[in-house]
Amino acid sequence: MNGEKSRDLYDRALDVLPGGVNSSVRAAPVPYPRFVQSGDAGHVIDADGNRYVDWVMGLGPLLLGHDLPGSVTAAVQSRTADGPMYGMPTELEVEHAEFIARHVPSVEMVRFVNSGTEATVSAVRLARGYTGRNKVVVMESGYHGAQESTLVSEQGQPSSPGIPASFAEHTIPVPFNDEEAAHEAFEEHGDDIAAVLVEPILANKGIVEPEPGYHETVRDLADEHGSLLIWDEVITGFRVGGLQCAQGKYGFSPDLTTFGKIIGGGFPVGAIGGKTEIMEELTPAGDVFQAGTFSGHPVTMAAGLETLEFAAEEDVYDHVNALGDELRAGLEDVIADQAPEYSVVGTDSLFKVVFTRNGETPKNGRDVANAAVDRWNRVFRPQMQDAGIMLSQNQFESQFVAYGHTEEDVADTIDAYADVV
């Protein structure tokens, strides 16, 4: 496919944007990223006019696809016409929070913020303020945004320059699905662990699902030691498990939950939700400071609420989950026939093929990191792009089914995998 305009745009961007992008993962595709001109339904069109089946879907926020229903478009246009924002409360913030609290069993109160990162930063601060403790247990290879408390390596060191080592001292990384490691962390540090911060599914490391009993063990350890359990549902929220989120699917009730992506309907958003007694520790009800000029932005609130109401009233989850099942089944046939050492992973409307080396489904982030990552990134993905299929920017990021996708998109994608794998 012709990519001259994308190449030229990237060349220009390198002069004015660090690495030519505004988020690091966007620069991952080789030899340069495709610049997108527009989207429709389950497709994107790049700056050179090439059309792709899009499984990136904004890295998760676009549950409905690129064509928004009339009700969502009307809500956004109406709010914009009334004035973009005020720095004062609006009724929409209340209605959106009521919707989330009504459908997610563990959530009684909500505080809206502006990104998933901001949500996890605020949740960790809240947990420390509520418990009076310092340390946070996180999962190795879990991703909780670009924040100092979680950018920590498997060795317990900062994973990025600019983070003081003293920050990392309060973060305890343990392998996902490793109950013994979780027990050891609490045995050593239990009296000073404010919270366990965990994704219900590792969704930024090739999609790794929990083994039976793992989340129960973590819940029990947190309760036994007086720590909070925080579920990061920025990716899984209102995607896995439908309106009850992944905690509904797995039958769990965390103390705090972080949200993002879908609850903004394609606009910047994040949120913390949880029990009233904990949430009311946030200012101005309590003493744990949290604030933001753009929090509860009216346009975002309108887009997010209308998106969730549309999903509640229509067959959105039936549609995306059925296509997800169809995709994974078709890919499993391809992989079994052509590359049995690889693994098809995912659930509901998440899917991925991880280039494992032994055909065993990954149990933690290390298993995904030990896969043929460069082959996926540098050989496989570019060929899929040439075949008209836009996959996530690297081996680790999830891929997403949207309401705008069709069975034809699924069939074309399975055929492309069969040709390229």
Q: Are 302 and 269 in contact (CB under 8 A)?
A: no
Supply the DSSP symbol for 150.
T
Is 120 in contact with 142 (CB distance < 8 Å)? no
Q: Which H or E run contains 219?
A: helix 214-225
Phi, psi of 34 (to 5 degrees): -85, 130
User: Cα–chain-centroid distance for residue 244?
Assistant: 16
Residues in Cβ contact with 166 at an 8 Å cutoff, skipping those fewer than 6 apart: none
For residues 229 and 298, give the distance between their C-alpha atoms in angstroms, rounded to a whole number. 30
Look up 52 and say whether it is catalytic.
Answer: no
Q: Which residues contact 60 (CB under 8 A, 6 or more apart)?
A: 235, 239, 261, 262, 398, 400
Query: What is the number of helices (H) and of strands (E) in the chain?
Result: 15, 14
Q: Which residues make beta-bridge pairs with 51? A: 45
Cα–Cα distance list, 337 to 63, 341, 360, 372 (Å): 31, 10, 16, 18
Runs of H (alpha helix) within 104-178: 116-131, 165-168
Length of the chain: 421
CB half-sphere exposure, 190, CA atoms < 13 A: 15
**Of 205, 261, 352, 363, which is the active-site residue?**
261
Q: How far apart are CA 277 and CA 127, in angstroms?
A: 12
DSSP 30-94: SS-PPPEEEEETTEEEETTS-EEEES-GGGTT-SS-SS--HHHHHHHHHHHHT-S--SS--HHHH
Q: Which pair of structure tokens corresponds to residue 358?
A: 């032994």
| Given the residues 46, 232, 348, 409, the one annotated as active site | 232
Q: Which of 143, 317, 403, 417 is catalytic?
A: 143
232 is annotated as an active-site residue? yes
Whole-angstrom Cα distance, residue 200 to residue 272?
A: 16
Q: Apex CA 404: angle with CA 399 and CA 409, to 5°?
A: 65
117/316 Cα distance (integer angstroms): 27
Residues labelled as active-site residues: 143, 232, 261
